[in-house]
């Protein structure tokens, strides 16, 4: 059971409590509230001891008692413990450690040293002298651990970033990072540069997603998060290699989201593409794809997982693919009492967009004129607003344009009774 938290203030770790603190005064708290103990915490040799079952219940572990050796064994995640009544030697993952005070029995309960166990489990035991409370809280997220799941990518054409999705070498990046490439190197956080075979196993050029397979095992995959649960104001961590600066970390918050995109104020720049967006618990929410003004944009992780991986193409064949202007996706609208707000996911290679309207879904579409003569520029969280004041409804399509070449039109959506005369580009 994981309780990852970022700590943004200074804290005092509980390695010892003063002799004047009596066990009856102490309460143990977690993020969920006070920890229930069937007997009160006790102090031995200036160390707080808790009944084994109470502590291990919090950890999500079960203790096994061995009568013949008077030993307690338990496992927390990938850490195995062996502690013996009356012995100051503890075994953790096969390695011996010396305790300040030995485990003991009290009221027929096995009492375990709190600070030793929480330290080995990566959990902080924080002492609040004013309230005489111990707060159990998992230590701050290690940037290095998160970096282990992020790589830098260099092709013969450009530099970007990538996210490790599996221990056996599956890596996600942006389509535009590998577009036109014939060679590719992967730089891992441990300093290794992978120059072996690279196979493209998934491509979604419209979503700007590429899934790669390298011939390497033992990698550290990102822990997958829930992009649907992300909301404005959530704290996030972004890791990538802007301008070739390897695995740089920036912090920010979620600014908002639309269908197909998450936005944040965390810093990204050229070279960050394909990098990782983590939530404050260290789980992957999305992949860096672009920036617009002061906003950084990310493809939700769910789209990475949905990308088909049945392709089997050497990276060299990317140089043979013909580039095209991508069709805009996710055309939709939101509304309030006065307006409809039109948005879509930007096409990765669009200079601008043109909008077309029709009275019938499959009818003849005419340009939606604005002050720029049907030239719209993508912005977040919406591209244009349409007033609700006038009568009459219409169907709307959007086309991406790059260097005078237009994409195929998007799917049409119906805008309820209103008028194009009241349309304004934002």
CA within 13 Å, CB half, 246: 16
How big is the CA angle at 48 (ends 43 and 51), to the nearest 5 degrees? 95
* pLDDT reported for residue 392: 61
Mean pLDDT (whole number) for 44-55: 85
**367/382 Cα distance (integer angstroms):** 19
Is the pLDDT higher at 273 or at 391? 273
**157/78 Cα distance (integer angstroms):** 42
State the pairing for strand pair 133-138/109-113: unpaired
* pLDDT over threshold 80, residue 421: no
Among 7-21, 40-54, 147-161, 199-213, the minimum mean pLDDT is found in: 7-21
Which domains are seen in the chain, by residue range? 23-138 (3.30.457.10), 141-323 (2.40.10.120), 329-425 (2.60.40.10)
Is the pLDDT higher at 345 or at 391? 345
Confidence class for position 128, pLDDT limits 50, 70, 90 = low
Mean pLDDT (whole number) for 167-196: 97
Is the pLDDT higher at 316 or at 25? 316
**Segment 304-349, tens digit of pLDDT:** 999 999 999 999 999 999 889 999 999 999 999 889 999 999 998 8
* pLDDT reported for residue 419: 46
State the pairing for strand pair 413-415/394-402: antiparallel
* pLDDT reported for residue 144: 85
Report the length, in residues, of the chain: 426
* pLDDT reported for residue 73: 92
**Segment 69-79, tens digit of pLDDT:** 999 999 988 78
């Amino acid at each position: 059971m994981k309780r990852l938290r970022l700590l943004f203030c200074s804290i005092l770790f509980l390695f010892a409590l003063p002799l004047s603190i009596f066990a009856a005064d102490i309460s143990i708290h977690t993020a969920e509230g006070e920890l229930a103990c069937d007997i009160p915490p006790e102090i031995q040799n200036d160390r707080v001891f808790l009944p084994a079952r109470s502590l291990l219940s919090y950890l999500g572990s079960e203790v096994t008692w061995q009568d013949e050796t008077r030993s307690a064994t338990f496992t927390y995640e990938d850490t195995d413990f062996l502690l013996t009544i009356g012995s100051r030697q503890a075994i953790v993952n096969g390695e011996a450690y010396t305790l300040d005070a030995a485990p003991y029995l009290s009221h027929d309960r096995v009492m375990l040293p709190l600070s030793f166990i929480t330290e080995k489990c990566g959990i902080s035991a924080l002492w609040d002298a004013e309230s005489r409370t111990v707060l159990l809280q998992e230590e701050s997220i290690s940037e290095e651990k998160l970096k282990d799941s992020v790589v830098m990518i260099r092709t013969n054409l450009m530099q970007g970033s990538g996210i490790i999705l599996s221990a056996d070498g599956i890596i996600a990046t942006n389509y535009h990072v590998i577009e036109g490439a014939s060679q590719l190197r992967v730089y891992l956080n441990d300093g290794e540069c992978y120059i072996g075979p690279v196979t493209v196993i998934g491509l979604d050029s419209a979503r700007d997603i590429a899934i790669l397979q390298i011939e390497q095992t033992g990698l550290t995959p990102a822990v997958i998060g829930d992009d649907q649960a992300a909301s404005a104001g959530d704290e996030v961590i972004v890791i990538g290699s802007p301008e070739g600066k390897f695995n740089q970390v920036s912090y920010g918050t979620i600014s908002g989201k639309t269908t197909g995109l998450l936005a944040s104020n965390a810093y990204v720049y050229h070279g960050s593409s394909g990098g990782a967006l983590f939530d404050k618990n260290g789980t992957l929410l999305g992949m860096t794809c672009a920036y617009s003004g002061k906003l950084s944009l990310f493809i939700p992780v769910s789209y990475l997982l949905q990308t088909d991986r049945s392709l089997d193409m050497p990276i060299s064949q990317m140089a043979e693919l013909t580039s095209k202007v991508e069709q805009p996706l996710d055309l939709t609208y939101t509304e309030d009492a006065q307006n409809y707000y039109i948005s879509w996911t930007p096409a990765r290679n669009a200079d601008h967009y043109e909008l077309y309207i029709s009275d019938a879904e499959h009818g003849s579409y005419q340009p939606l004129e604005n002050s720029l003569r049907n030239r719209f520029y993508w912005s977040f969280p919406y591209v244009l607003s349409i007033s609700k004041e006038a009568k009459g409804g219409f169907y709307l399509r959007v086309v991406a344009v790059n260097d005078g070449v237009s994409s195929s039109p998007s799917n049409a959506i119906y805008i309820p009774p209103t008028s194009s005369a009241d349309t304004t580009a934002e």
